[in-house]
Structure 1
Amino acid sequence: MKKSHVFLAAIASVGLTGCMAPKYVPSAMPVPDELAVEGTVSETAAYPPDVAWEEFFTDQRLRNVVRIALDNNRDLRVALATMEQARALYRVQRADLLPTIGIDGSATYQDYPGGVSGAGGSGGGTALGGRNDIYTASVGISSWEIDLFGRTRNLSKAALEQYFASVENRNAAQTALIAEVATAWLTLAADQERLRIARETEQAFADTLALTRARFAKGIASELEVRQAQTSHDQARSDIAEGTTRVDQARNALNLLAGTTVRSELLPEQLPETGATFAQLPAELPSEVLLRRPDIAAAEHQLRAANANIGAARAAFFPRISLTAALGTISLGLSNLFGNGSDYWSVAPAASVPIFDFGRNQGNLRYAEATRDAMVARYEQSIQTGFREVADALARRGTIASQLEAQTSLQGAAASAYRLSEARFRSGIDSFLTTLDAQRTYYAAQQSLLATRYVREANAVELYRALGGGLK
């Protein structure tokens, strides 16, 4: 073959290699361009993915618990091991691009009867009668596929994208873990405060019950009033038992997430008055910020891997060329193995061309294309899911301040009403039922205000997670 023909063949093979896999084109964002931001905003605030979690959480005890979880959580260790598995598989697949070089050595011991000819014919043959010891040593490659059409290269690229996806999955696991630990810590804080309120209320109801019984003994109060007071007191006692259980369960959940027993000095006694998170957001929040979420980035790498697998499936329709070669030495005696004239070489190229495979390659290609289509849908769905999660968190964030203000005012009014009704009851102006209703209303208002404060803190954590924070 002329040199020009060889050159043109090489150019053609390179062109085929490049066109096997379809060109990757990022999907259009299947969501609105902007996310509605209300509440506390700042023109200079950074996007949550750019804010380190240690800066986002302002309570030092919570930061310490998060550090413990990052070091000990078993789910995060599993995600890290899975990432290492994907890295190892990529290294295995990448190694197929290069030939495997090995050293071989062998010894053959033969004993032929006298007069046997090595040529197998009459005359001119070499007599091999007697003992013959044959030794060989060689360096060579075995069945190395020459990747003219990009099959191995595309498989290597697919493995690389799978590794990148596992890295993002590990990052997503870390982000989720930080959010779960923070939420569990805040839940424990709210449960501790709820239990304290229940105990204080139980004491107040106990005092009311004692006063009512004393009035009943003097004939001032009725038995109905005693039973009503006892009902409220028993309900408070039941709330204390329930609250104690909730505190223990919240502590167990936090220990599980942390991967160890969290020290008591790191546990909260109540929700922080000034909040446990940094709540400022940029004034404008484009939807493109969702692409930095680890789960969405992982879905995109899965899509790229599916794209590369199409290239590998297309290359299977073309000839597969492999090469086996060796360079070594051979002799009839071990002492002459590396002597002059004992060297030899061999080259054995081979080609395999699919002719009738009864639709196997076509089926593999259709499967790869269908997998790519599924990955496109999954990628777009992950973006839509992320947009919905952020939009829901922002919707809650936009109204939580006014709700908190209303609940604070409600608690203050209920507290004043309870104090006034109790004073009027002791003075004999109002009935016992009015005081009891005011007491119950005040207790419910305390619980509602606590629940709203918890929602505000948990919403900030959820918004941080939904926007892809928690990696730094």
Structure 2
Amino acid sequence: MRRPALLSAALLPLMLAACMAQPAPDIATPTPDLPDAFAFRPETAAKTGLSALMPMDDPAYRALSQAALADAPSLAEAAARIEAARAGARRAGAERLPNITADGSVRQNRINPAQFGPAGQQGLIPSEQTFYGANITASWDPDIFGQLKAQERAAIARIDAASAQAHGVRLALLSEIAASVIDWRVLDARAAEINTDVAAAEQLAALAKVREDAGIAPGFDRVRAEATASSSKVRLAALDSERARLIGRLVTLTGQDGASVRAALAGSGTPLAMADAPAALPSDLLANRPDIAAAAANLAASDADLAAAARARFPRITLSGVIGLLAFDPDDFFDSDSLVGTLTAAVAGPLLDFGRVGAGIDAAAADKRAAFAAYRAAVFQALGDAEAAYGVVAAADREAQLAVDEHGKLTRAASLAEARYRAGLASFLEVLEARRAADASGERAAAAMGRASRARVVLWQALGGEVMASAAPLDQG
């Protein structure tokens, strides 16, 4: 019995030396420095909430967003990833608990009795033996050095990452639906402006026809007015292709059929909103943006992975036991003499691994550095998105205001030119040019209002958005 004890005593210092080799590197992960305020922040602090930036009052947006939150394929995929992460965490937690298995067996052996000499030749050794066995085996790693606990911590952090990524998918989905609904309302506004243009051109053509019949104007004036009306009708027909693309886009986003999408969009919508951009702080992005939350969770998971890799240097202690029944005859299976058992305590650790553990630590450290770089990239991506979104909102508002003012002035100029033409104080060409300018400005104003509304949706997403109160939670577990 002395030799195993001496061998263990000799191996113990070597195993301890392996434990002390190559500790985990200390990798700093400071929170990135952010400015105190956004460069393009609003001059006056608006008290509106983020939800005011979205077309919440539009019935089409409400219907399509609720349908998407229930059936969208992208959200179903994100929910499945959360379930996969949860399963991984349950598995990691189960690894810290005892593992108990049961087995049963029947084994038959045939031997040559002659190999046992005279005893076998005299029939004292049977040539065939049948073994009947049943065992319950239990094993447990008490995880004294915390490797399994670190692995469980990494798995739990990946649940947070998957949940944050799913929330980001939700926000992107709602933003795309809102932008598509806004584009549809812009098409409605453009169509209304073009119909007004057609009516004005047809009225102008009728006036030119009256003057032509009276012999005070050439027929060319009527033809030009009719051509202007036809040009407006061509622009009106071109809007149908844009509507078809929007319907196809919403079918993809919501998982609904084209008829359902078209029915949701068919109702009258609310006028395009121009809500004030709410003031926010750059530090708010760290709490609101799902991509930053996902990157932070991945960083925490990589930190736990590094801890687990470093703890692989330590020995693992395994406790195991077997209790069972072993008999040579089925009738003797439950006799007390058939009861057998084994209890084992084992210690295993690195001795000469030729750099395997060290390579694992280096790989985990590199993964943590990469995760920290990804976290910093997410932070500055969010900062850049918010800065740009604030600036685009301000620029789009100025453009929309100027476009609306321009449309008002050109419409008034067209009315004055037509009045002068009726009074014989202006040529038909002047009226026609004034009408064309007014017609084009109406579409520009509608498009500019749409860009301003779309910019608000981008700002909503850049600031982290918010979940609608009526939305069913994606995470049901």
Cα distance in 2 for residues equivalent to 1:334 and 1:251:
74
Alignment of 1:131-280 (within 5 A): 131-141=128-138, 145-209=141-205, 211-212=207-208, 215=211, 220-221=216-217, 225=221, 228-229=224-225, 232-261=228-257, 262=260, 264-267=262-265, 272-273=270-271, 275=273, 279=276
Query: TM-score if structure 2 supplies the norm length?
Result: 0.82
- Aligned partners of 2:107 and 2:132 also within 8 Å: yes
- Aligned partners of 2:135 and 2:324 also within 8 Å: yes
- Aligned partners of 2:272 and 2:449 also within 8 Å: no
**What is the Cα deviation at residue 188 of structure 1?**
0.8
What is the root-mean-square deviation of aligned Cα atoms in Å? Answer: 3.7
Aligned position for 1:3: none
- Aligned partners of 1:30 and 1:384 also within 8 Å: no
Structure 1 alignment gaps of length 5 or more: 1-8
Aligned pair partner of 1:453 in 449, 456, 461: 449
**What is the Cα deviation at residue 26 of structure 1?**
5.5
Q: Is residue 462 of structure 1 aligned with residue 458 of structure 2?
A: yes
Q: Deviations over 1:206-258 (max 9, x none)?
A: 44345446656776545775665455334323311211211222222223222
Structure 2 alignment gaps of length 5 or more: 1-11, 469-477
What secondary structure, in the 3-state scheme, does the structure 2 residue paired with 1:28 have?
Answer: coil
Say how many residue pairs are matched.
Answer: 450
- Aligned partners of 1:198 and 1:236 also within 8 Å: yes
Letter of the structure 1 residue corresponding to residue 295 of structure 2: A
Q: Which shows bigger deviation, 166-175 or 244-253?
A: 244-253
What secondary structure, in the 3-state scheme, does the structure 1 residue paired with 2:337 have?
Answer: coil
Aligned position for 1:33: 36
Aligned position for 2:72: 73
- Aligned partners of 1:212 and 1:221 also within 8 Å: yes
Cα distance in 1 for residues equivalent to 2:300 and 2:25:
10
Letter of the structure 2 residue corresponding to residue 33 of structure 1: D
Aligned position for 2:4: none
What secondary structure, in the 3-state scheme, does the structure 1 residue paired with 2:336 have?
Answer: coil
Letter of the structure 1 residue corresponding to residue 182 of structure 2: L
Aligned pair partner of 2:421 in 422, 425, 449: 425
Aligned pair partner of 1:129 in 116, 126, 137: 126
**What is the Cα deviation at residue 178 of structure 1?**
1.0
Letter of the structure 1 residue corresponding to residue 236 of structure 2: I
Q: Which shows bigger deviation, 356-365 or 210-219?
A: 210-219
- Aligned partners of 1:21 and 1:309 also within 8 Å: no
**CA 1:243/1:111 → structure 2, altered by over 3 Å: closer, same or farther?**
closer
Cα distance in 2 for residues equivalent to 1:171 and 1:386:
15
Cα distance in 2 for residues equivalent to 1:149 and 1:378:
30
**CA 1:197/1:278 → structure 2, altered by over 3 Å: closer, same or farther?**
closer
What secondary structure, in the 3-state scheme, does the structure 2 residue paired with 1:281 have?
Answer: coil
**CA 1:39/1:265 → structure 2, altered by over 3 Å: closer, same or farther?**
farther
**What is the Cα deviation at residue 25 of structure 1?**
6.5
Letter of the structure 2 residue corresponding to residue 74 of structure 1: P
- Aligned partners of 1:414 and 1:441 also within 8 Å: yes
Aligned position for 1:440: 436
**What is the Cα deviation at residue 384 of structure 1?**
1.0
What secondary structure, in the 3-state scheme, does the structure 2 residue paired with 1:135 have?
Answer: strand
**What is the Cα deviation at residue 389 of structure 1?**
1.4
Q: Deviations over 1:352-403 (max 9, x none)?
A: 4434444433333222212211111111111111112122222233455554
Aligned position for 1:4: none
**CA 1:269/1:349 → structure 2, altered by over 3 Å: closer, same or farther?**
same
Letter of the structure 1 residue corresponding to residue 34 of structure 2: V
Aligned pair partner of 1:328 in 306, 324, 327: 324
Aligned position for 1:5: none
**CA 1:452/1:40 → structure 2, altered by over 3 Å: closer, same or farther?**
farther
Cα distance in 2 for residues equivalent to 1:221 and 1:244:
37
Aligned position for 2:474: none
- Aligned partners of 1:185 and 1:268 also within 8 Å: no
Cα distance in 2 for residues equivalent to 1:366 and 1:28:
23
Identity of aligned residues (%): 26
Q: Is residue 63 of structure 1 aligned with residue 62 of structure 2?
A: yes
Aligned position for 1:101: 100
